[in-house]
Every structure is written in C-alpha cells, then in structure tokens.
Amino acid sequence: MQKTALIVGASGLVGSQLLPLLLVSGRYNRVIAVGRRPLPIMHPKLEQRIVDFDHLEDHRLQLIADDVFCCLGTTMRQAGSKEAFYRVDYLYVVKLAALTAANFAAQLLVVSAMGADSRSRFYYNRVKGEMEEAVRQLPFRAIHFFRPSLLLGPRPKKRTGEQFGALLLRVLRPVLVGHLRSYRAVPASAVAQAMLKAAQQEGHGPYVHLSDAIAEEGYARPV
C-alpha cells in the first residue's frame, strides 16, 4: 500500500535534494511539504502546507503522514542569537515530532549533526543532543538520526567558512581513517538518498547514521 510522506525544510540543502526523490519514489502517492512559504515546484503528488512554526499546533490536522522527514536546521550565524537557534533546531523539531507522533506517524527521519550530545560544552552540539533525547521519547515505530559531518552541495548563499572547511577535509581525507572516518564531508544528496533508503527498510527502534556509513553504503563516493 502506498504511503504519505511529510517533509519539513524542503528548501534547505538536504531537503531540496530529498524532495525530488520522494516525488519519484513508488513508495509514496502523496508528499506533503510543510514550510513558511511556497516552493516553486508543481507535481501531481505534491501538496504544500504554509504554516507558522511558532503556532504549528494550529496545523495539526494537516500533519498526517506515514513517514516524516525533518530537514529543519540553521546556524548560529544565520539565526542571529542562541535563542533563535534553539527555537529552530530544538523547539520546532521537537514540536513537529510530537504532533506527527500524536497523528500516528510510523517513522521520523531527522537531520541532526555530528557530535550531537546533550552534555557537550559546545552549544550547537548540546542543542542537537537535547533534541535527539526529546525525540527518542516519542512513540514512533522507528526514528532515524542522520549526523553528517560538513555537508557539501549548492547553497543559495556562499559560506566562506564552510568552503574552507570542505577544502581542508579534502586535503585531510587520506588521514581520516578508523574512527576519524565520520569526520569526512558528505554531499547533501547522499544524506537525502540515505534518508529515503532508511525509510524503505521499515525498521524498528532508534538508529544513528554517520557520514562514513552513508558513504560506505554506496550513497555517494567518499569525499
């Protein structure tokens, strides 16, 4: 039986790679894209929901799906403050997860970050870790956390720091072996493919996917 996919963050780096995969997948006959503004895409399967994330509960009945793909995320620089970053990367993600779980979604697949740890001394990693811990408590059949290292791919705005980081990781690739393999940069398209493949496996319980595992499983060439 075909299913319904719900994707949040479809205009972002990973989400923009994932949405086309969902639309052509035979697994889904409906794809609901949730966002603040319309996407410049039309497709027979696609249904767009324009929402206010600060009042996401008002849209609860529009958030009914089998598989929920959360690609929400920002950076401290983009957000402008710790409070704004926390609102997007913790509050919005956890609220989405709670509402869709209450609507009996079977699976949640969410982009987190390498180093996510609620005990981390780094604020970014600590928030990601707190988000994961909160989401783990919800009654999904399966929860998949994707923790990529530096993400590669086309961005609307160039980020000088990330461009330098990508170059540095390419130079260091030969020495990123063993437990350091998870630090290898990974294309956003690879993460998107991994998310769809994970959903198709119909697993049970929580899973964590790192950059090296995504590359090794054939989603992309190692960077």
Chain segment 59-85, per-residue pLDDT in tens = 999 999 999 999 999 888 888 999 999
Q: What's the number of domains the chain is made of? A: 1
CA distance linking residue 99 with residue 69, whole number of Å: 13
Nearest of 22, 182, 27, 29 to residue 113 by alpha carbon: 182
pLDDT of residue 184: 73
pLDDT, averaged across the chain = 87
Q: Give the pLDDT mean for 105-130.
A: 96
Chain segment 165-197, per-residue pLDDT in tens = 444 444 444 544 445 455 678 889 999 999 999
The answer to whether 5 touches 69, Cβ cutoff 8 Å, is: yes
pLDDT of residue 155: 58
pLDDT of residue 173: 47
Angle (CA) 83-94-20 rounded to 5° is 105
Task: Compute how many other C-beta atoms are within 10 angstroms of the C-beta atom of residue 178.
Answer: 8
Structural domain boundaries enclosing 144? 3-219
CA 181 to chain centre: 20
Model confidence at 5, in pLDDT bands (50, 70, 90)?
A: very high
Report the share of the chain in percent with pLDDT over 70.
83
Q: What is the CATH number of the domain that holds 37?
A: 3.40.50.720
User: pTM of this prediction?
Assistant: 0.87
